[in-house]
Structure formats: structure tokens, C-alpha cells
Structure 1
Amino acid sequence: MSGLSALRERYERFDPRAYLDNNYGPPRADFSSEEFVVPWKLRCLADTFGTGEIHGRTLIDVGSGPTIYQLLSACDHFEEIVATDYLAVNREELRRWVRGDPGTFDWSPFIQHVCKIEGRGEPWQDKERRLRARLRRILPIDVHRREPLGAPLQPRADALLSAFCLEAVSPDRAAFSRALTNAASLLRPGGHAVLLGALGESFYVAGPARLPVLPLDEGDVRRALSGAGFELRQLRSYAMPPALRTGVDDVEGVFFAHALKAGGE
């Protein structure tokens, strides 16, 4: 537990706004081409949720951080979105966006881009309102507990989403695998899991916080999913180009995974 305790202590210095500016402003959030990392992530999510295969009553986003972009394509297919994060500052950042408080991070370019690539021609403001209406619960979570939300979720979620969380809060591969298994307990058998994460990253900065990351490769992702009882349906990867290596981290790439939890019909 010493590694986890040290990690938790470091996260007390996490600055949500610095994290957002580092990762979701230019140059990474350049929407002129899908060669940039943010449009690539949004395309993966739009393509996967656009099949209509992943749907239901509840989707849980594990370790939402201060971001909502990962929920934009998912929100059309669920009655309720449950956001979660370990840090109170991130949960409050999400609540401020849901309320429409002034001074929150401007997600409108992301929403406009998702509406464009989904191709339904809807006004982006409609999607923004829909996500705000469906983002009904923002809960504390600890993926290193066997009950990550503190108590069993009933009924369990139809789908699980997690973006750049598990590798950032796990000191080693065993902890990463356990965290994924714990998160999977929130999902019903036969439910879908959609994961985004970093490849080959050892640190990132968020204001005064310099935070360690477990460097993963695709093999690590495959083994952890299998060990947590998932059948891998899709695994894509993105190599971070030199122009996007801005010094706020040492990430080499990004993975996108879609998997199905065993035990369904």
C-alpha cells in the first residue's frame, strides 16, 4: 500500500485547469485533421458508439477527471451517465460544467466536432443539453477497493467507460490489473467496456503536480482485459507525433479498446 499512499499524496496537488489546458488545448486539440490526438480519440468513440451495439440504462465513466469529451458519443445511447472521480476538485469541475457556471472549460469545439463526424446534422447545443441532462450523478470512486463506489451498484451498469485513469493511478502492472477487475465489478455480465489510455508514458504534469504513470504496451492491455474477464473486440493504437510531445508528459501513444464482459447471453 505504500506505493498507493504516495500516489494519493501526489494527487492532492492535482490542478484540473492546468491538466485541461495541457491536454485539451492546442496543439493536441486541433480539429483540422484526425492526425491530431484529440480528433483521433473522438473518432474512435464516435465509430464505436455509432454502431448502436452499446446501449442501455446506465453507463459508468470510471475516473472521469475534469473532462466530458469521452461521454459525447456515448450519451445518446443511455438513459443515465454516472461520472466518477477520486478527487473532489475534479468532481466539482464536472458539476460546474453541468450547471453551466461561468469560467468553466470551453468544450464547445469538441461538441461541434463530434456532431460533425457523427453526421446527423443536429445543432451542437442539443447534444450539450442532452449530456448535461443525463449526467445525473457524479460520485467519488477508488478503483483500488473491491467495491470502487463503496457499495455494490444495483443494478449493475450496462456499459463501462474509462479514459486515462487506471494506468495513471496504478504503481505497477499487478495494481493495474486489480483496478480493472475492481472496475469490472460495476458492469453486468455481457456489458461493454470502452477504454482509452496512454502507451509508454511514465509521467505527466498538472500544475504543481508531477504524477507517475505506469508505462503500458498493447500486450499489457490485452492481458489485463483477459484477466478481468473480458473478451477483446477491438484494439487500436495511435503514435504520438513529435509535434504533440509538448513536455507536459512523455506519452508515446494512445490505445483504444472495446471489450465485452463474459457471462452474457
Structure 2
Amino acid sequence: MSCEIRGRTLIDVGSGPTIYQLLSACDHFEEIVATDYLAVNREELARWARGEPGAFDWSPFIQHVCKIEGRGEPWQDKERRLRERLRRILPIDVHRPEPLGAPLRPPADALLSAFCLEAVSPDRAAFVRALAHVGNLLRPGGHALLLGALGESFYLAGPARLPVVPLQESDVREALAAAGFALRELRSYAMPPALRTGVDDVDGVFFAHAQKPLEA
């Protein structure tokens, strides 16, 4: 995450039951707001945040991130900091103009979303609308960090085969522009054959850094 992207509040759109995507972010924001459509995912996050027995053990992942960051920080310190800063876990529906049902107060300085919007959108037009809706959660000038799949049409969740809107890099560029974002950076990576597990048909992943324009 760029050193320019920091502030008071980060909102994670479509957190799922996971916290890996927040492990570096917790060093740059005072408050993290996690969100998910499914109550079962929100409940799992809340169990981890409270340190309840039986919650998923993220400690190997936290240790790995601390090793990558290379600051020599004890992983327990990062775990504690994330728990302290993960202050709200809210329901969200990205297909509503107000995804949280009401404006976020205060508006977020940054928005993070990993492998969410393309997985919950039936087509590219819905993907564009979802981008615009989540943009309502950002302050003017706020940053959006998106990680997503390229060329993916489905993924498997147990016995369920779930559809995904297949995107190309050009689709991401056009969608961000149509949703009113200014693109700052876009990178894409091909999926190595060794990582193709059969649970999806993804061709690659993209990382986008975009910004909500300042109000006139």
C-alpha cells in the first residue's frame, strides 16, 4: 500500500470471513470498517475480532506478513493492533446506491475491495454501478484499492458453481472511468499454471488504484 494512502478510516468492501487483506492496512488507518453481505461471514469476523475460541487461526498468515514487511515486529503486536482498529463489521449490498443503507460517517479516506465486485455482479453494467455505489462511501479525494479476477466466469464454493462477470484489463479501466473514478495505477498478472487448482477458470488478477475526484 502506498505511503500516500493513509488516514482515519478504511472500509473493506466484501470482506468475507477473512482478515488477510487488512494486515498491512491496519498500520495506516486508525479505524477499519469491515463489511459483508452474508451474516455468517460477519459473525466469523466478529468471533476473530473478539478472540473467541474456535475462530479461524490467522496467526501463520500474520507471521508471514510480518516477515514480508521486514520490520522485525512481533506478530502478536500486529494481531492486537488489527483487533483494536477493526471497530465496525457492517452488512453491505453493493447493488444499492447507499450500500450500507445510510451514509458512512465519517466518509472513508480509503476503500479496499478484494475479489468481490466482479463476483457479485451479473454483468459489466452491474459492475460499473457497484463501483459507483461503493464510491459513495468515500470522501472526495479518497482512494479506492481494488484487487480482482481477470477472465474468470465461475468459481466453486463446495458443491455450488457461482458465476463471475469475466473482465479484461480494458473493462476495468472503462468501468472505473464510467463510475467516476480517476485511475492512478493498474497492474495485471497472469495466473501461473501451478496456481490453477480447478476451483475456477481465472486467467489472472488485477490491482487498481483509483481516486474519487475532489468536489468542485
Whichever structure has more strand as a proportion of its residues is 2
CA contact (8 A) 1:191 1:264 kept: no
Alignment TM-score, normalising by the size of structure 2: 0.96
1:104 deviation in Å? Answer: 2.8
**Alpha-carbon deviations, 1:181-237, whole Å to 9, x = none?**
000000011111100001111111112322100100111111111112211111111
Q: What corresponds to 2:3 in structure 1? A: 52
The residue aligned with 1:131 is 82
Gaps of 5+ in 2: none
| Pairing 1:144–2:98 present | no
Q: Aligned partners of 1:212, 1:85: CA distance in 2, in Å?
A: 18
Equivalent position to 1:215, from 147, 166, 174: 166
Are 1:262 and 2:213 an aligned pair? yes
> 1:118 aligns to what?
69
Whole-Å separation in 2 of the counterparts to 1:148 and 1:115:
33
- Which structure features the higher share of helix residues? 1
Give 1:187's aligned residue. Answer: 138
* Structure 1 counterpart of 2:114, from 145, 163, 166: 163
Given candidates 170, 183, 188, the residue that maps to 1:237 is: 188
Q: Which residue of 2 aligns with 1:19?
A: none
Aligned match for 1:99, one of 32, 46, 50: 50
State how far apart, in whole Å, the 1-side matches of 2:191 and 2:57 are. Answer: 24
The alignment's C-alpha RMSD in Å is 1.3
Moved over 4 A (4+): none
- C-alpha offsets along residues 49-89 of structure 1, whole Å, 9 cap, x if unaligned? 2x421111110000111111111111111111000000111
Match of residue 79 from structure 1: 30
TM-score with structure 1 length normalisation?
0.79
Q: Report the number of matched residues.
A: 216
